[in-house]
Structure 1
Amino acid sequence: MKLKSNPERYGTVAVSIHWLSAILILALLGSGFRAVNSMDAAAKAGFLRFHIPVAIIVLILTAFRIVWWWRFDQKPLPVEGAPRWQERIARWVHVAFYVAILAMVASGIGMIFLSGAAPAVFGAPGAVLPNFTDYPPRAPHGLGAFLLVGLLVVHAGAALYHQFIRRDGLLRRMWYGGRLDRLETS
């Protein structure tokens, strides 16, 4: 498999960024929802100690992905026979992912800075974790999390639709070497 994409399939770089981002975003959503629902300040801080560095990695991956597509790579052609409206929705969902991820990072940074939570999150003695709902970036951060969940459901649902209903090989294009034989015969 080549580093760059070609008209039929995604390259190693795009595939790696996609799947690593997917795993990390799921971890972010899980740790973020666990932090929000945690009543214990120490547990909440623990979730945030995981959440914040992973969010920084996702920001770096997203920025790299945007630059990669913009300057170095080309996306494969649309799947043959796919209706134009599906292509438009797919494009919109991908752009919405980028916007939501960048907005989530911005609102997260805003919450940390405005609340002064960094010392409490990263274990400074005597530092108290603030109530994040007192800070304006909290509302868009929470809404963004639910938007990301919705986008993930639509994205994964479309991939499964293409894999099991249309059987058009779309999912194979987003895997290393295109080997999804087990899924195709299911």
Structure 2
Amino acid sequence: MLIQNPREPQAPRYDLTTIWLHWATVGLIAALWVIGQTADWVPRGPFRTGLWSIHVILGLATGLVLLTRVAWRAHFGLALPPADTGILHAIAGATHYLLYILLGAVVVLGIIDASYRGFDLFGIWSVPQFGTGNAATRRDINEWHELAANLTVLVAFLHALAALVHQYVWRDRLLDRMSL
């Protein structure tokens, strides 16, 4: 735990809802990406189907969290002064918008992927199928979903790396803004 000097000014922090939505997004992205990368290693059967079902449900949850984040940020969230100025501020802003766009693309492509397949969730409920189920089209949709997911993870990694540079190289306590 970080002990702060009482004479040192308190670093500005985002509101608790913004912080929780941020870390929920991080956790969901990490879980989804790991499942997406490893579920096909499991032999075909109920466990593999369950993993993919969890992936689809967590993907839908990510969509809800993303919509909530955008709505919260637009109407209620606390806006903090920028941590940087000039080009670094522009890069940070572009990175945040890119992350939102990529997350939206991953969720939409995931929904399209599951719908085109007519995906079966836990053997209980089937996502309504549209289209012919053509294997080449299904593969193309899945490849776009995977590309968007991998780009999201790459940009999120760079975002996290930049935050760590702020915290541990520049020592400007940027991570305090998002600490729980």
In structure 2, the partner of 1:85 is 87
* C-alpha distance in 2 between matches for 1:131 and 1:158: 42
Task: Work out whether residues 111 and 138 of structure 1, in 8 Å CA contact, stay in contact via their aligned partners in 2.
Answer: yes
Stretches of structure 2 that go unaligned for 5 or more consecutive residues are 1-10, 125-132
1:46-90 C-alpha deviation (Å, 9 max, x unpaired): 2212111111111111101100111112320012xx342111111
Change (3 A) 1:131 1:46: farther
In structure 2, the partner of 1:22 is 26
* C-alpha distance in 2 between matches for 1:49 and 1:77: 41
Shift of 1:174: 0.9
Which SS does the other structure have where 1:91 is aligned?
Answer: helix
Task: Work out whether residues 9 and 173 of structure 1, in 8 Å CA contact, stay in contact via their aligned partners in 2.
Answer: yes
Q: Which amino acid is the alignment partner of residue 28 of structure 1?
A: L
Match of 1:158 among 150, 156, 162: 162
In structure 1, the partner of 2:49 is 45
Change (3 A) 1:143 1:167: same
Task: Work out whether residues 132 and 138 of structure 1, in 8 Å CA contact, stay in contact via their aligned partners in 2.
Answer: no
1:148-185 C-alpha deviation (Å, 9 max, x unpaired): 12112101100110010000011011113xxxxxxxxx
RMSD of equivalent CA atoms: 2.1
Aligned length: 160
Change (3 A) 1:40 1:64: same
In structure 2, the partner of 1:111 is 113
In structure 2, the partner of 1:180 is none
Change (3 A) 1:12 1:33: same
Task: Work out whether residues 42 and 48 of structure 2, in 8 Å CA contact, stay in contact via their aligned partners in 1.
Answer: yes
Change (3 A) 1:174 1:97: same
In structure 2, the partner of 1:67 is 71
Q: Which amino acid is the alignment partner of residue 108 of structure 2?
A: A
1:70-123 C-alpha deviation (Å, 9 max, x unpaired): 1112320012xx3421111111111111111111111111111111222xx422
Shift of 1:139: 1.7
Stretches of structure 1 that go unaligned for 5 or more consecutive residues are 1-6, 125-129, 177-186
Task: Work out whether residues 29 and 153 of structure 2, in 8 Å CA contact, stay in contact via their aligned partners in 1.
Answer: no
Q: Which has the higher contact order (CA 8 A, sep 6+)?
A: 2
Change (3 A) 1:21 1:131: farther
Task: Work out whether residues 35 and 55 of structure 2, in 8 Å CA contact, stay in contact via their aligned partners in 1.
Answer: yes
Q: Which amino acid is the alignment partner of residue 17 of structure 1?
A: L
Which SS does the other structure have where 2:97 is aligned?
Answer: helix
In structure 2, the partner of 1:122 is 122
In structure 2, the partner of 1:175 is 179
TM-score by length of 1: 0.78
